[in-house]
Amino acid sequence: MVDLHQPLMVAILLAGAAAVVAAAVTDLLHRTISNRTCIVIFLCGVMFHLVAGGLIFGCLAVACVFALCFFAWMGGVLGGGDVKLLAAVSMLLPPVMVPGLLLTTALCGGILAVLYLGMSRLLASRPPATHTETFLSRALRVERMRIAERESIPYGVAIAVAALTAIGHG
């Protein structure tokens, strides 16, 4: 479907994938998804559709995803960052792949939620921080605290896994 022999197309998808990873990392660490990162992903999607064709259909797919996610946000199911990330990511794919993206995102999000719920008891009794803590050990300690306190789930991670899967199979 997508001609990956075009170096420009590969560069666009790699840039978009890198921005998706950045969004997932910031969501995991800070529970925030940057507007700038979503704009980069969206613009990579616009360039993707300009090269591949079908910009109007891509925009229609984004509008449908945004509307669906907006109602999920109003119902408290998704955060605002998740809405804008999922809409931006849907621009990065051919419209025919967007339903699969949504389904994969829901499945990954469900798995992530089950993991977080299951780990909340297991991780509640971990040792406190030490003075020689590395960045990774600090991030894991903070995440353990969030899981133990049943804070919000970084749904941007599920969106990123689904997006990278779709890009990889596109």
**Residue 23: its pLDDT value, please?**
97
164, 39, 5, 52: CA torsion to nearest 10: 110
> What residue numbers bound the domain in which 24 lies?
7-169
CA–CA gap between residue 95 and residue 161 (Å, rounded): 18
Q: Residue 127 above 60 pLDDT?
A: no
**Has residue 2 been placed in a domain?**
no
The domain tally of the chain equals: 1
Q: What is the pLDDT of residue 125?
A: 57
Model pLDDT, residue 130: 62
Of residues 142 and 129, more confidence is placed in 142
- Are the C-beta atoms of 84 and 41 separated by less than 8 Å? no
Quick one: pLDDT at residue 119? 73
- Percent of the chain clearing pLDDT 70 (strictly above): 87
pLDDT digits (tens, 9 = 90+) for 78-118: 999 999 999 999 999 999 999 999 999 999 999 998 887 77
Query: Within a domain: residue 32?
Result: yes
Report the alpha-carbon distance of residue 49 to residue 42 in Å, rounded. 11
Structure tokens at 72: 């999920």
1 inside domain:
no
12 vs 114, more confident: 12
Residue 48 structure tokens: 């993707």
Answer yes or no: is pLDDT of 149 > 80: no
In a domain, 113, yes or no: yes
Query: In angstroms, rounded to a whole number, what is the distance separating the alpha carbons of residues 94 and 54?
Result: 8
**pLDDT of residue 165 exceeding 80:** yes
The reply to whether 162 falls in a domain is yes
**Is pLDDT of 51 > 80?**
yes
